[in-house]
Chains A and B, each alone.
Chain A
Amino acid sequence: MSIQPTLIAEGIEATSRREAGISSRPPARSRRSGGNRPGWSTTIVLLLCAITVVVPLYVTVSMAFKTQAQAVDGNAFSLPAPFSVEGFVTAWNLTNFPAAFTVSVLITAGTVIGTVVLGAFASYAISRNWDRKLFRYSFYYLLAAMFIPFPVVALPQIQLTGLLGLDNPVGVTFLHIMFQLSFSILLFTAFLRSIPNELEESARLDGASTWQTFWQLIFPLLAPMSATVGIFAFLASWNDFMMPSLITSNAALQTLPVVQSIFQTQFSNNYNVSFASYLMAMAPAIIAYLFTQRWVMEGVTQGAVKG
């Protein structure tokens, strides 16, 4: 993940600017390019640039489907001939793909759910009690983690998780949530400010408790923000290498990215096996992205511009 939250927090403006987000294009823009004629020269330049994105992905796919005999010739760009899945079979068994995949899924799901729920809880409490010192200072306190990248606290965290018996995927999930918390609280509190108080007042008049108000009224209203927070948490957690590689002590409980590094030496020159393994590790996130791309693009834009 390349985007990290910062402290350039912003007020409510970004929420309203969301409407002008990725997908909508102000009509006036089209006029300046002179009518509806698409700019072919720009399109061609962009298509050429897109090749730089596609080539590494193409190489990964084509290498993965080669036989070992063809893969060792080192020609990255040739098409697989014959088409073979032996790389996948070997990689699946060698790296114990199902185990690593399960660990990755559990850590990512735990991180997404934990970040959204804890973040929404804390933000709701903070924004509704802003006049209380405890809550106001808590906000600044929780936000301070944006100043602390993982490498700064990595060594003590490795020691502490070891002492507490958390040198495993549970500990990784926990730390992922904690590093995402600041950003999610920043986004949630900004959004909660824009929810009119009358809504809650009327729910309370109907006899709803704070707990009920939160779950039945506030949390559903937070959905678009939860999506943004969740997307950031997903990308940060699924693709992370540094933290699981340092925190989890048992190699059998490692995530997909870490497993690729562990098996580097065993892959040696069996490029079809290594690339099949890379492909299986990359594919879930890419497929998920292709199905949810509008959300991802809007969420990232909104989160980054706001954060």
Chain B
Amino acid sequence: MTTTTAPTAPTQAAPPSATTPRQAKSRVEGIYYAFLIPSLELFTLAITVPAIIGIFFSFTNSIGFGEWELIGLTNYIAMFSDPAILSSYLFTFGFASVTVVLVNVVAFLLAVGLTAQIKFKTALRTVFVIPMVVSGIIIAFVFNFLFSNSLPVFGQATGIGLLSESILANPDLAWVAIVIVTAWQAVPGTLLIYIAGLLAIPGDVYEAASLDGATKRQQLVRITLPLVVGYVVINVLLGFKNFLNAYDVIIGLTNGGPGTATRSIPMTIVTGFTGGDYAYQMANATMFFVIVVIISLIQLRISRGRNAV
């Protein structure tokens, strides 16, 4: 189906087409260099140089200043037996997996509702997108108040023991709060992509289905879902990569606590700034980088592969 492959056409395979007439020219106008070089230089300074510095220092014992020496893979080997690192990876991947499922299920169902025949369609869309424009840490502070003040009151009133104390103070439940707030913020972006996907499905497909006697639910599962599967792939991979970078919301809710129960990978990396294990956390960052690259490559492969079909 062309509709399913639509969002993921090739990128690098298609060079800009408008170059042909100028190919005959032997010299590039100087102004084109003036357009390009500043970006290249600034970009190198801002991203490439720090990345190289970081990777280099991950093989040293630097504490961020003063003398250092090369120590090979020691930092990397140490990471694998460091409970702080392991627990942050476990937490971050667990959190990202749960959140990505929750966000996509909620966003997909909302998108189906918002593209159906409903009242107040515009107003509802307006409301559902608001969380996207709110700062993560600020809304986390608001939810922090609700979780630590309002929810316990509710828990005590209804006799639900688990909720009678702040779930943010409970090492086994604090992650749930982080999932909820992250999802609250991430649903709108995901939702908008699903709406675009749903609107790209031609209406006559449904007409034919209902003539054949398919129920609404059958249409959703047999027609809608297969046709938006490309958008599901985008949303899942994009979301997962974003959630691995969780920082702002966690700072606002638990600050990594109780203890270090909800400390994400980015939060662990940043401790290298104050904690004196600069080189060690650079090894952590490099590892994180490799993981992000692998996910991105999977994403590219899936989108390209699907496109080739």
Chain A positions near chain B (C-beta within 8 angstroms): 1-4, 6-11, 13-14, 17, 20-22, 24-33, 36-40, 42-43, 45-47, 49-50, 52-54, 56-57, 59-60, 63, 74-77, 118-119, 121-122, 124-132, 134-136, 138, 140-142, 145-160, 174-175, 177-179, 181, 185-186, 189, 192-193, 195-197, 200-201, 209-211, 214, 235, 238-242, 246, 256-257, 260-261, 264, 271, 274-275, 278, 281-282, 285-286, 288-290, 293, 296-297, 300-301, 304-305
A37→B14 contact, CB < 8 A: no
Chain B positions near chain A (C-beta within 8 angstroms): 6-12, 14-23, 28-29, 31-33, 35-36, 38-40, 42-43, 46-47, 49-51, 53-54, 57, 64, 110, 113-120, 124-139, 141-143, 145-146, 149-150, 153, 184-186, 188-190, 192-193, 195-196, 199-200, 202-204, 206-207, 210, 219, 231, 234, 237-239, 241-242, 244-245, 247-248, 251-252, 265-266, 269-270, 272-273, 278, 281-282, 285-286, 288-289, 292-293, 296, 299-300, 303
In the docked arrangement, what's the CA distance between A261 and B10, Å? 43
Residues on the A chain within 8 Å of B299, using CB: 6-8
Residues on the B chain within 8 Å of A154, using CB: 266, 269-270, 273, 285
When C-beta atoms are compared, the residue in chain B nearest to A54 turns out to be B127
B137→A260 contact, CB < 8 A: yes
Q: A122-B35, A261-B137 are in contact. Are A128 and B196 (CB under 8 A)?
A: no
Give 18 A-B contacts (CB < 8 Å), ordered by A residue.
A2-B190, A22-B196, A25-B115, A126-B16, A128-B32, A142-B39, A148-B51, A149-B241, A151-B266, A151-B285, A153-B285, A156-B57, A181-B43, A185-B39, A196-B18, A257-B137, A304-B234, A305-B196
B113→A156 contact, CB < 8 A: no
User: B212 to nearest A CB, angstroms?
Assistant: 13
Residues on the B chain within 8 Å of A286, using CB: 130, 133-134
Q: A151-B288, A156-B54 are in contact. Are A122 and B132 (CB under 8 A)?
A: no
B17→A160 contact, CB < 8 A: no
In the docked arrangement, what's the CA distance between A179 and B199, Å? 31
Q: A60-B142, A118-B38 are in contact. Are A151 and B128 (CB under 8 A)?
A: no
Residues on the B chain within 8 Å of A3, using CB: 132, 189, 193, 238, 242
In the docked arrangement, what's the CA distance between A193 and B130, Å? 33
Q: Which 10 A-B pairs have the closest CB atoms?
A: A28-B203, A9-B11, A156-B50, A151-B266, A125-B35, A33-B117, A178-B46, A127-B16, A3-B189, A239-B135
11 further interface pairs, Cβ-Cβ under 8 Å (given A25-B199, A296-B133):
A8-B300, A10-B7, A10-B8, A119-B39, A136-B15, A153-B47, A156-B53, A178-B43, A239-B133, A257-B137, A278-B138
User: B82 to nearest A CB, angstroms?
Assistant: 17
| Most chain A C-beta atoms within 10 Å of own C-beta, residue among B116, B134, B136 | B134
When C-beta atoms are compared, the residue in chain B nearest to A214 turns out to be B35
Q: When the two chains form the complex, which single residue of B19, B130, B132 contacts A57, counting CB atoms closer than 8 Å?
A: B130
In the docked arrangement, what's the CA distance between A197 and B231, Å? 32
When C-beta atoms are compared, the residue in chain A nearest to B135 turns out to be A239
Residues on the A chain within 8 Å of B196, using CB: 17, 21-22, 301, 305
| Most chain B C-beta atoms within 10 Å of own C-beta, residue among A29, A146, A158 | A29
B129→A293 contact, CB < 8 A: yes
In the docked arrangement, what's the CA distance between A138 and B42, Å? 13
B186→A28 contact, CB < 8 A: no
B133→A193 contact, CB < 8 A: no
Residues on the B chain within 8 Å of A74, using CB: 149-150, 153
Residues on the A chain within 8 Å of B219, using CB: 32
Q: A26-B202, A138-B36 are in contact. Are A6 and B245 (CB under 8 A)?
A: no
